[in-house]
Amino acid sequence: MAAFTAHSRVLVGACCHQQQQLVAPRVLICSKRPCSSSCAPQAALQQPSSSQQHVRVQRPSLKPSRRSAVVAHAAAAYPFKKKDARLVLEDGSVWHGTSFGAQGTEIGEVVFNTSITGYQEIMTDPSYKGQFVCFTHPHIGNVGINDDDEESEKCHLGAIIVRDVSIVVSNYRSVMTLDEYCKKHNVMGLSNLDTRALTKVLRETGCLNGVICTDASKSDEELVAMTKNWTIVGKDLLSVVSCKEPYEWKDSTEDEWEFSEGAKEAAAGRKFKVVAYDFGIKHNILRRLASFGCSITVVPADYPADKVLAMNPDGVFFSNGPGDPSAAPYAVDNAKAILGVKPVFGICMGHQILGQAFGGKTFKLKFGHHGGNHPIRYNPTGRVEISAQNHNFAVDPASLPEGVEVTHINLNDGTCAGMVYPAKKAMAIQYHPEASPGPHDADTCFEQFVDMMKAEAAAPVAA
């Protein structure tokens, strides 16, 4: 035994005098020879004899005042930020967590997203306007933030909720941490919260309004009242996130990231002029259209249909977007005026706008579809696609008129995920084929839209 103590830690590898300094007033017994005369054993230090195996020494107790000071010092030295924020839901439940990003009080509809990757793309998707996103994946922020994965000019969501926000960033493209990014864009973050339990509540109860607050002066009751006096239903958010003036989009998917042979072939052929309605359009949707040989003019959500038709496009695109589709009747009216005149393609909110323009109705889902792993069946062939989705409303297929064919079904809940109306030269899907983030299975939808425009261009002109 190199060294031992009674009721004390052993510091191995230090001489007697050094150990005395480090752990005094504990008594140490060193089995080595004295290091020097300066380290000679004192009265309390002695070599153990063969008959003496243990030395029992009464350890002096700390006075209460001294003990309190030690405890206070230990608490002050706690290395992690303590829980300083709350998520209060309209059902009255209070979820405590640790804040990051912006500070203050924010209200929104709480939804959960099952994607494992792509948190930056999710945060910059305008379709999340008015919502808080709870990530079911437990570890968020590990690849930081880069300049290339933005899906719009800013973050539109109100807050993100995560189990653990990474304190270490490891990615060659990263330019800042998630915390820094949230501060920059005034987005609140809440971590150290049981996101699995929260997700189960949302699945059982449905989407709930919530308030995230870092202001300790506000009572839980006051925050609950805020949630009950707010709703996303009936709110027109398209005009909030849309561009204000038309603009041209040129960029296609970079060669490094291009994965579709069909896109490469289409890009080498004829260019088709497309007018895209911006209901909250994502950059990667525009890139995919450009990659398939489209020349794109983006117009605001309320841009008059007659001005669009005056541009004489080969096709018209209706984009994704946030909120309640029934709260944007102007968008439905514009779609009605364009249907049958030009080939049209709608994604997500565009799918819901076209559904209403066909004569159908929309309804709110219990907890929506948010994630990158939703299975979709393409009815004509039986092919199953894994899709990325982000929407809280759906088209009621029973309300659609004769002539509209439901082509895609969500295999999780049987809702309408795609439709075509051949007589009106229209196609629409309820999910995101641009794969940002998400799988590439549905990228063929862009190719189908191009094929529609090709067929229209080849059709004989009526006398």
**Residues tagged active-site:** 348, 432, 434
Other beta carbons within 10 Å of 286: 24
Q: Decide: helix, strand or coil at residue 347.
A: strand
* The residue to which tokens 């189960």 are assigned: 200
Cα angle for residues 76, 79, 85 (degrees, 5° grid)? 85
Q: What span, in angstroms and rounded, lies between the C-alpha atoms of 90 and 206?
A: 11
Alpha carbon 404 to its chain centroid, in Å, reads 33
Dihedral over Cα of 17, 19, 23, 29: its sign: negative
What does residue 211 show for φ and ψ, rounded to 5 degrees?
-125, 130
Chain centroid to Cα 323, Å, comes to 17
Strand bridging mode 361-378 / 383-396? antiparallel
Identify whether the C-beta of residue 29 lies closer than 8 Å to the C-beta of residue 47. yes
In order, the DSSP letters of 79-126 are -SPPP-EEEEETTS-EEEEEEEEB-SEEEEEEEEE--SS-HHHHHT-G
Asked if residues 210 and 87 have their Cβ atoms less than 8 Å apart, the reply is yes
CA 287/CA 247 separation, integer angstroms: 14
Single-letter residue type at 347: I
Which residue type does 101 have?
Answer: G
Using alpha carbons only, what angle is made at residue 127 by residues 206 and 391, rounded to the nearest 5 degrees? 40
Closest to 404 measured CA to CA, from 329, 450, 354? 354
Contact predicate 290/318, CB 8 Å: no
Q: How far is the CA of 134 from the CAs of 115, 138, 311, in angstroms?
A: 10, 10, 42
Helix (H, G, I), strand (E, B) or coil at 157: coil
What does the alpha-carbon distance between residue 458 and residue 392 come to, in Å, rounded to a whole number? 38
